[in-house]
Chain A
């Protein structure tokens, strides 16, 4: 079968239209999606951008995190687990107030990993900082070392855990960036909820992928790391603070 000039140009126009109307579709990402047999790779570094100017008074991200990870409290805020919390910052002079979600910043050089005596606190190849509760002895050094207060110790027996999120008494835990969701190529629950029902203030992606929306935002717009003076190179970045 041979194509004449007219139909060749017609096909070309269709292909061009297809490329033009689907700018969000990137075939390379589909190729890169990790299979369950494949280990996490250092080629990726998962990160998050939080635009505080779009962050509203809602607690959608916190609720979504609790639902996804099966976090239930005992009505004791001093000791209940906290993976993500809403923090309000206000300027004493002007009264200007801002609200933002604070969670594990998934540092490149995490102090919690440095101080852990058993190696339970570790950074996965793709930059997610986790606690291996099988080796955690509950010493809480990491709780003290974390400059963001992101870690919680579990004081009481936990029941009704989610199959994907094991949690137990006597260990330390923090935001896992919903690692079980990332491993099946989904976004963290907080980001998904913020995009669907909140102020669309969170962008999740691979900090190393120059084609990703997150990378482009970080390149174009001014963002900060919390406590940048500590040179921890956090994976979570803030904008508008």
Chain B
């Protein structure tokens, strides 16, 4: 009796262990098999406006703070503005931060965090991304000055607000 009972119970035990191991193997293998890790393509190598660790964790806080400063008070510093993010991080191929390999979308899809910015905001830079030279001016000062100079040139004829036409 004892020996006849032992045989099937051992077989069951072995099967259970095998199944658990197979399950563990499947779980261990799943990151490769399931969602692909995000493609983080840095178009302009160099230092971002803040250290990478800060940007990874707190980029939303910075953008949110700047959003209210700009919208409500008219403060338009370049450093933490969404437009500055897009100017640097847009892909020259698609001229956008969206798309499967876009800087914003690839990571947000992987992390399953919905971003609503681009329901209203343009995902494209102010000047076409392909036209930008990869210059590491991340302080925002140099790029801001260049942008202002570019803006001033065509508008020079109509400046002098309030002056007689």
Question: Which A residues contact B (CB, under 8 angstroms)?
Answer: 23-26, 29, 34, 36-40, 122, 124-126, 130, 132-134, 158, 160-164, 166-169, 171, 179-180, 183-187, 192, 195-196, 200, 203-206, 209, 212-214
Contact = CB atoms under 8 A, between A and B. Distances in A.
Contacts of B161: 29, 185-187, 204-205, 212
B159 interface: yes
A161 B120 contact: yes
A37 B151 CA distance: 18
A37 B73 CA distance: 10
Contacts, number: 96
Given A163-B126, A164-B126, A187-B158, 15 more contacts: A24-B163, A29-B161, A36-B75, A126-B74, A130-B71, A133-B120, A134-B67, A158-B120, A166-B122, A168-B119, A184-B151, A186-B159, A203-B165, A204-B161, A209-B162
29 contacts: A24-B164, A26-B163, A29-B160, A29-B161, A29-B162, A36-B76, A36-B77, A39-B73, A40-B73, A40-B74, A126-B74, A134-B67, A161-B120, A163-B86, A163-B126, A164-B83, A166-B121, A168-B119, A171-B120, A179-B74, A183-B74, A186-B151, A186-B158, A186-B159, A187-B161, A192-B158, A200-B165, A203-B165, A204-B161
A51 B119 CA distance: 38
A215 B75 CA distance: 26
